[in-house]
Amino acid sequence: MDTSPSKKLVEMRDIVKSFPGVLANDHVNFTLYRGEIHALLGENGAGKTTLMNILYGLYRPDEGKILVRGKPVKIGSPADALHLGIGMVHQHFKLIPPHTVVENVILGLKSPRFKLDVGRAAHEISDLASRYGWKINPFARIWQLSAGEKQMVEILKVLYHGADILILDEPTSVLTPQETRGLFESLKKMREEGKGIVFITHKLEEVFAVGNRVTVMRKGRVVATMSMEKATREELARLMVGRPVLFRLEKESVEPGRPVLQLEDVHALGEKGVPALRGITLIVREREVLGIAGVTGNGQLELAEVATGLRKVTHGRVVVDGVDVTNKGPRAFIEKGIAYIPAERQREGLVIGMNVAENLVLRYYRYEPFSRRAVINWRMVDENAEKLVRKFEIVTPNVRETTRHLSGGNQQKVVVARELGGRPGGKTPRLVVAMYPTRGLDVGATEYVRKTLLRYREMGSAIFLVSEDLEEIFQLSDRIAVIFEGQIMGVVRPSETSYEEVGLMMAGAKRLEEIPA
Amino acid sequence: MVTRWVSVAVSIGAVLLAVFVTAMLFWAIGRDPIEAYAVIVHVFVDPGLLGESMARGVPIVLATLGLIVAFRMNFWNIGAEGQIYLGMFAATGVVLWGAASHMLPPALMMPTMVVTAFSVGGIWGLIPAFLRAKLQVNEVLTTLMMNYIAMLFVDYLVYGPWKDPHGHGFPLTIPFPDYALIPLIPGTTITSGVIACVVVAILVYYVLSRTKLGYEIRVVGESASAARYAGISYMQVALLGMLISAGLAGLGGLSIVSGIIGRLRPRASPGYGYTAIIVAFLSELNPWIAVPAGLIFGGLVTAGEALQAALRIPFSGIQVFQALIFLFVITGEFLKRYSLEVSWGRR
Ligand SMILES: Nc1ncnc2c1ncn2[C@@H]1O[C@H](COP(=O)(O)OP(=O)(O)OP(=O)(O)O)[C@@H](O)[C@H]1O
Ligand SMILES: [Mg+2]
């Protein structure tokens, strides 16, 4: 890679940015070159998103200078940024669901190049997509798209606006492994075209897969910038967290106990009223992790919602600890001790306009000690929050901070902390239904969450883990159930199977005849 | 905090701008704006007129406090006006029944009126809540359309079965007996309804910030999917929330017949329920601000009547003034968001 000064696309010098009670960026220096993919690493709340929001004109820095292509600039708004060729894809999608792909892409163009020539724009968008090996229907509506496709639209939007400086904030956290590989191929192509890409992630293997250089942030500061050749996994993890990280999990072998959750021939409808679960029979026992592997959209969400009482079954039975709770509603499930980490934290798992303490009792506010009769006991709510914030190391100035102001990973920690540690009276959950529980978490927090899940398993909880990350599934599960088009293709033990076999079953190409309970 | 001051400054600026534009309008129709504003100011300093202003403020405040509950739950209740009419109907019904049957001791009259007006107004509000929760019917349309039903229903009563037989054919009910009227605070010209407003504001604040229901209302208002996840029943919260919201508007109706007019007549509310929407936004859904803000708007209603009498400016003149305040404040809201980002940058 050419690092001569003339190749500098962006230079950020001594950037300082504070929020009430937080120093988010503390004299940060950051450089991006033409034709480089620059990985930005750091713990949750380290200040990565803030730094990039500054470059994208969403925040003004308190101090510091920004140079783009060697010229000092003031970036007052995303429109200014786009004008300078800077585009950003955010950690949480900002598309408008009822509108089509074209509408979303051309939205915000300063001077529409073709006055409302939607047909032409659609054509250009398809061309642009195919240049990077993607296929997309420009007239599809956003809500119809998968997370991976939405991501693609976000990137297309930025490219369509002519950006050659791309900021991608945790783009892979919602992608399947295949989609991630596809994205990387496209990014490499963009790099060859001379674009500069900032790539924020928590997954070290991804940094090694596409990065040229890496910058590590910690508590608002840059602790290192280095080229990938000089970096090692252990070193990066240590720089990020400030202590060595174990990548191996100690998993004790324990005997599973009584069944906690039993699903018997369960059928249920999906969001659009079509059958999503078609005859699912599963058991999760005490001291056992049941992993659900599958390509997103094959019924995982519906399965998790059936297991937590949020979705009605149209046929079949749901039994928890020997009691039939079929269609008894979510409260019955909460009261039976079923914790649920949902896939979409901002939409479902949190009320981002309410504060951290309020969110930490979202599913438990109606029970003692958080409330008595009709009245909420705010003192207990705050105490609970203080305890969980400490235990799960949630970075927030105080428990009354609006949850929207937390960094993405810390928002996820709020959900995880409530579901794993927020039951009134400090009781451990009977069953944890966890969808992508470590999505958006840094390596340290990921390690902590996985360890906690395993500790609960040893203490007698049942764990129901939905993940696309096969590595996570293999590492944590005692048994793996593979779901395809609303049916279980087979249940296997991680020690007796392979990624290949599970992969075939995920694609529906293989089905085990006998399903061991 | 910076943003707090920006916020207040923008609101005051919006009101001043509305004053200025309205003055231009008065001038344009050939009235002296200075004289017009003198009339308006007079309303707020003359003890007698101040009493009238307060009396007109009470229904606005009560309806506003109700709307705050609905709006916090993201339920766009445009139906306070109709709920007010139902409250007037219920309160009057109790009086007429009491007068005809002699079964209600005078001491129980007012408590019975309060309970009935709250309940009947509230039940009227349950209809759109139920339709929204059960069938996803847009509440803006239902609440708005139900206003006309309520208003015309009251018309029917006062032109028909409830008309005072000794009223020379005017569409009026019999005048209320003294014990069915809201008394003044002893030694003043001010209605004791103002005290009721403060008490209700305290209750609304308490419900919203201290109770499970208040928590649920806020969760539902922020995110329907998070509410579902938390096991909150939308139906239950929407019904309870609207019972309170519309019930308070119903009390506002009571305060019109028992505190301003002393009987029921057609079109007894000159749009208090719509004014309350403006006041709810102006007070940023804060019950503490709603009380003074609503009372000031009561003054504006009185001022409108005074302008009509003194300068022959049509009553709609003051409605234009109200609408302008609202328009500018909404615009100010937009600017506030913008300046909020700027002030972040400058922190
Ligand atoms: N708008 C805001 N208001 C107040 N505080 C904020 C705001 N945005 C960010 N912060 C704070 O700044 C700090 C850095 O947040 P930032 O989002 O940059 O972290 P991050 O490195 O992107 O973390 P993550 O990996 O969790 O996404 C956090 O402590 C966060 O609470
Ligand atoms: Mg972030």
Domain assignment present for A192: yes
The whole-number pLDDT of residue A122 equals 84
The CA distance from A158 to A166, in Å, is 8
Give per-residue pLDDT as tens, B106-115. 999 999 999 9
Domain assignment present for A252: no
Single residue among A241, A265, A295 that ends a domain in this structure: A241
The CA distance from A215 to A205, in Å, is 15
SS3 content of chain B, % helix, strand, coil (to 5): 80, 0, 20
Residue B231's contacts (CB-CB under 8 Å, 6 or more residues apart) are A309, A329, A330, A331, A334, A363
Residue A83 C-alpha to ligand 2 middle, in angstroms? Answer: 24
Give the H/E segment covering residue A489: strand A487-492
Degrees to nearest 5, angle at CA A431 with A430 and A435: 155
Same domain as A160, residue A113: yes
Share of chain B above pLDDT 70, in %: 95
Nearest to B346 by CA among A197, A177, A17, A214: A17
Question: Domain total for chain A?
Answer: 3
Same domain as A287, residue A194: no
Q: Is A215's C-beta closer than 6 angstroms to any atom of ligand 1?
A: no
Nearest to B85 by CA among B31, B157, B21, B139: B157
The CA distance from A308 to A381, in Å, is 24
Please report, as a single letter, which amino acid is at residue B170: F
Please report, as a single letter, which amino acid is at residue A183: L
The whole-number pLDDT of residue A98 equals 80
Same domain as A382, residue A272: no
The whole-number pLDDT of residue B344 equals 43
Task: Specify the 3-state DSSP secondary structure of B160.
Answer: coil
The whole-number pLDDT of residue A75 equals 93
Please give, rounded to a whole number of angstroms, the shortest distance from the CA of A5 to a CA of chain B. 30
Single residue among A241, A273, A303 that ends a domain in this structure: A241
A50-73 burial, b at 16+ Cβ within 10 Å, e below that, comes to: bbbbbbbbbbbbbebebebbeeeb
Averaged over successive runs of 10 residues, the pLDDT of chain A (517 residues) comes to 80 94 94 94 94 94 94 91 91 79 76 65 85 84 81 87 91 83 90 93 91 94 93 88 75 88 95 90 95 90 95 96 94 95 89 96 95 95 96 94 94 94 91 93 88 91 90 92 93 91 87 64
Domain assignment present for A516: yes
Residue B292's contacts (CB-CB under 8 Å, 6 or more residues apart) are none
Residue listed under structure tokens 């009584």: A258
Same domain as A352, residue A315: no
Residue B38's contacts (CB-CB under 8 Å, 6 or more residues apart) are none
Half-sphere exposure in the Cβ direction for A133 (13 Å, CA): 11
The CA distance from A286 to A128, in Å, is 51
Nearest to A431 by CA among A335, A344, A515: A335
The whole-number pLDDT of residue A111 equals 55
Strand partners, A340: A433
Instruction: Give the position, in ligand 1's atom list, of the atom nearest the Cα of A25.
Output: 14
Contact A378 B213 (CB under 8 A): no
From the CA of A17, the nearest ligand is 1
CB-based contact (8 Å) between B134 and chain A? no
Residues of B whose CB is below 8 A from A362: 219, 226, 229-230
Strand order in the sheet with A259-269: A275-285, A259-269, A315-320, A323-324
The whole-number pLDDT of residue B337 equals 64
Domain assignment present for A513: yes
Query: Number of A:B CB contacts under 8 A?
Result: 71
Same domain as A125, residue A200: yes
Compute the mean pLDDT over every residue in chain B, rounded to the nearest whole number: 90
Please give, rounded to a whole number of angstroms, the shortest distance from the CA of A250 to a CA of chain B. 33
Q: Is A444's C-beta closer than 6 angstroms to any atom of ligand 1?
A: no
Strand partners, A213: A38, A227
Give per-residue pLDDT as tens, A151-173. 888 888 888 888 899 999 998 88
Q: Nearest residue of B to residue A365 by CA position?
A: B212
Single residue among A215, A241, A267 that ends a domain in this structure: A241
C-alpha pair distances (Å), A139 with each of A100, A155, A314, A405: 5, 17, 34, 34
Query: Is it the case that residue B330 has pLDDT exceeding 90?
Result: no
Residue B121 C-alpha to ligand 2 middle, in angstroms? Answer: 48
Please report, as a single letter, which amino acid is at residue A346: Q
Q: Is A46's C-beta closer than 6 angstroms to any atom of ligand 1?
A: yes
Q: What tokens appear for B167 in the block?
A: 């009223």
A401-436 burial, b at 16+ Cβ within 10 Å, e below that, comes to: bebebbbbbbbbbbbbbbbbbbbbeeebbbbbbbbb
Nearest to A196 by CA among A327, A65, A36: A36
Of A348, A354, A374, the CB nearest to B225: A348
Q: Are A213 and A196 in contact (CB under 8 A)?
A: no
Same domain as A157, residue A49: yes
Task: Specify the 3-state DSSP secondary structure of A207.
Answer: helix
Same domain as A219, residue A136: yes
The CA distance from B59 to B315, in Å, is 19
Same domain as A459, residue A320: yes
Name the pairing type of β-strands A275-285 and A259-269.
antiparallel
How many CB atoms sit inside 10 A of residue A262's CB?
Answer: 19
Q: Are A20 and A217 in contact (CB under 8 A)?
A: no
Cis peptide bond prior to A494, omega within 30° of 0? no
Contact B345 A371 (CB under 8 A): no
Of A19, A363, A374, the CB nearest to B231: A363
Contacting B residues, span 94-113, partner chain A, CB-CB under 8 Å: none
Half-sphere exposure in the Cβ direction for B313 (13 Å, CA): 29
Residue B316's contacts (CB-CB under 8 Å, 6 or more residues apart) are none
C-alpha pair distances (Å), B134 with each of B72, B194, B238, B327: 20, 37, 10, 34
The whole-number pLDDT of residue A3 equals 72
Same domain as A30, residue A108: yes
Nearest to B276 by CA among B53, B61, B55, B11: B61
From the CA of A215, the nearest ligand is 1
Give the H/E segment covering residue B280: helix B272-282
Task: Specify the 3-state DSSP secondary structure of A8.
Answer: strand
Q: Whose CA is nearest to atom 22 of ligand 1?
A: A49
Same domain as A414, residue A444: no
Domain assignment present for A55: yes
Residue A169 C-alpha to ligand 2 middle, in angstroms? Answer: 7
Domain ranges of chain B: 59-289
The CA distance from A139 to A103, in Å, is 8
Q: Is A376's C-beta closer than 6 angstroms to any atom of ligand 1?
A: no
Strand partners, A28: A15
Q: Is B5 exposed, middle or buried (0-12, 13-18, 19+ CB in 10 A)?
A: exposed
Q: What tokens appear for A171 in the block?
A: 């783009």
Residue A55, domain CATH: 3.40.50.300
Q: What tokens appear for A78 in the block?
A: 């995303």
How many CB atoms sit inside 10 A of residue A7's CB?
Answer: 17
Domain assignment present for A246: no
Contact B229 A331 (CB under 8 A): no
Domain range enclosing A292: 257-337+430-517
Contact A347 B212 (CB under 8 A): no
Contact B231 A351 (CB under 8 A): no
Please give, rounded to a whole number of angstroms, the shortest distance from the CA of A310 to a CA of chain B. 7
Domain assignment present for A118: yes
Strand partners, A199: A39, A168
Same domain as A399, residue A446: no
Query: Is it the case that residue B230 has pLDDT exceeding 70?
Result: yes
Residue A322 C-alpha to ligand 1 middle, in angstroms? Answer: 44
Domain assignment present for A250: no
Q: Is B184 exposed, middle or buried (0-12, 13-18, 19+ CB in 10 A)?
A: middle
Residue A499's contacts (CB-CB under 8 Å, 6 or more residues apart) are A470, A474
Give per-residue pLDDT as tens, A62-100. 999 999 999 999 999 888 898 899 999 988 777 777 888
The CA distance from B10 to B29, in Å, is 29
Same domain as A496, residue A372: no
Task: Specify the 3-state DSSP secondary structure of B136.
Answer: coil
From the CA of A394, the nearest ligand is 1
CB-based contact (8 Å) between B206 and chain A? no
What residues of A are in the B interface, CB distance below 8 Å? 18-20, 59-60, 62, 309-310, 329-331, 334, 340, 342, 344, 347-354, 358, 362-363, 365-366, 371, 374-376, 378
Nearest to B255 by CA among B202, B297, B197: B197
**Average pLDDT for residues B71-92, to the nearest whole number?**
97
Q: What tokens appear for A15 in the block?
A: 């950037």
The CA distance from A18 to A179, in Å, is 36
Q: What tokens appear for A161 in the block?
A: 């606006």
The CA distance from B7 to A370, in Å, is 34
